[in-house]
Amino acid sequence: MPPETATLPPVNRELKNEFSWSKSRHETFHECHRKYYFQYYGSWGGWDPNADPRTRQIYVLKNLETRPMWMGGHVHRCVEEILKDLKEGRELPAPEAAVERMIQKMRDDFKASRAAEYRRSPKKVRGLFEHEYGVPVPPEAWKETADKAAQCVRNFYTSAVLEKIRRLPAAAWLEVEQRQAFELDGLKIYVQLDFAFREGDRIAIYDWKTGRADAERNDFQLACYILYASGKWVVPPEKIAATALYLADGTESTGVMDVARLEEMKELIRESADEMLFPLADPQNNVPEVEEAFEFAEDERVCKRCNFLKVCPRFS
């Protein structure tokens, strides 16, 4: 008979805004410091419907997605469902069935966003930037977005990697779309591997891309993947390869890093973190200076696609 288990009282842990590093955080900081403030500080606590009106609005705007982001998210979730079916031994849906299931979810999202349901529930309902800001988008452009998503899924079905995954033993699977963290000199870094598996004594990481190639961004991502995988699975960096599969056309690009290049990337990450800590009143506790200490982007062209136009003093 199992021993009696004591029932412990619930632990009241107050959420704390802790500093961490990620590729997306780095990119936001270098795009616009004020946008960075809104994204990581001004929105904090806005998930509470009773938050002060401006904080709540910033939080709602933070969660908006542009059409390309929205499309890419649906493709990723569709591929994730396909992989989980495989892992659990279920028969895969036919390609067109998977596509139709995804397109229906996109239709549902579109209707909910157009009805502004995201303002009441910003984390549960995906709000579209184009709806919030009244950006005119012709019907044929929405159709092109859906068509591109569908083609991405079809290309995944015909990809060489899916055939390889079908033959993998269950023990070779490592991760599928799990947000994880590791530390570099005490700095917490977040990563999310789309798919990772073992190949003998090597680790293969796959990243599903629905946009265009960007070598600089991919280098940061590759370095983070390798640092994370090397530590978690105790594999030398030179035995880890990350492949970007561009689902729009089915092409692949595989990257590896030698120790020297990896050290360079680690130093760039440290420098990036130091830059982000500079405008903080209390770096140790991740407390920012006042909003006005975070400068606007020099190039106003980036403002046209910024989620925070409605709250940015530059345009009020």
What domains can be seen in the chain, in order of their start residue? 63-158 (no CATH), 164-274 (3.40.1350)
Q: Would the pLDDT of 13 be above 80?
A: no
Q: Nearest 5°: phi and psi at 294?
A: -100, 110
> Which pLDDT does position 216 carry in this prediction?
53
> Which pLDDT does position 59 carry in this prediction?
98
Q: Would the pLDDT of 10 be above 50?
A: no
Mean pLDDT of 28-47: 97
User: Which residues have C-beta within 8 Å of that of residue 266, sequence separation ≥ 6?
Assistant: 184, 223, 227
> How far is Cα 67 from Cα 146, in angstroms, rounded to an integer?
10
Q: Would the pLDDT of 212 be above 80?
A: no
Confidence category of residue 214, pLDDT binned at 50, 70, 90: low
Q: Nearest 5°: phi and psi at 101?
A: -60, -45
pLDDT mean across residues, the chain = 92
Confidence category of residue 3, pLDDT binned at 50, 70, 90: very low
* Helix, strand, coil distribution of the chain in percent, nearest 5: 50, 15, 35
> Which pLDDT does position 1 carry in this prediction?
40
What is the CB neighbour count within 10 angstroms for residue 60? 24
- Two structure tokens written together for 47: 């998930």
Cα 184 from chain centroid (whole Å): 20
Query: What is the value of pTM for the model shown?
Result: 0.90
By C-alpha distance, which of 84, 260, 71 is closest to 178? 84
Mean pLDDT of 71-100: 95
Q: How far is CA 33 from CA 45, 77, 159, in A?
A: 20, 31, 40
> Which pLDDT does position 173 carry in this prediction?
96
Burial of 118: CB neighbours in 10 Å, binned 0-12, 13-18, 19+: buried
